[in-house]
Amino acid sequence: MKLIINDTSFAPAELTGEWVSLGGGRFHVIHNHKSYAATVVSLNREDKQAVVRVNGALYTVKVEDPFDQLLKEMGMENLLTVKVNEVKAPMPGKVVRVIAQAGDEVKKGDDLLVLEAMKMENVLQSPTDGVVSEIAVKAGDTVEKNALLVVF
């Protein structure tokens, strides 16, 4: 396993080396003949990121497993990236509120609009980072399932 530290205040950019699990998300790491105590505080498997406490300090890290490393060595690390160009209605409903506007730069997870379906308001979020090029609906519109809502 390789952890890539996103914080430049931590000297090693990569914590590679011998990892010994102590259980409960705790590890003993030997890197460049130095000993580190590492504890995984939180792990997001989907984004392959974790918050790790190393010798008492917290760092946000990118986690690469051997499969990720092999893909990178072969120049194929972007194969798992899904390009999303549009957001469609997941169900029929009424557009209650449009949050994003054309030209907005959004990050994955940012709110785009609110869709009411079966008397419940559903906040639709961006599935990817990008720039909104078009909002195909306005507040008050009724949409069917798979209707185009947002174009990136």
Q: 98 near 138, Cβ under 8 Å? A: yes
Q: How far apart are the first and last CA of the chain?
A: 35
What mean pLDDT comes out for the span 106-114? 92
Whole-number Å distance between alpha carbons of 118 and 38: 47
Whole-number Å distance between alpha carbons of 10 and 8: 5
The CATH class, in words, for 86-151 is mainly beta
Whole-number Å distance between alpha carbons of 105 and 113: 14
pLDDT, one tens digit per residue, over 117-139 is 988 999 999 988 889 999 999 99
Full-model pTM: 0.49
pLDDT, one tens digit per residue, over 40-77 is 888 887 777 888 888 888 888 777 767 777 777 777 66
Whole-number Å distance between alpha carbons of 32 and 34: 5
Question: Residue 104: is its pLDDT beyond 50?
Answer: yes
Question: Residue 6: is its pLDDT beyond 50?
Answer: no
Domain ranges of the chain: 2-73, 86-151
Q: Which amino acid is at 52?
A: V
Whole-number Å distance between alpha carbons of 109 and 49: 15
pLDDT, one tens digit per residue, over 75-101 is 766 655 566 789 999 999 999 999 999
Give the residue from 35, 139, 117, 127 showing the smallest Cα distance to 82.
127
Whole-number Å distance between alpha carbons of 120 and 21: 45
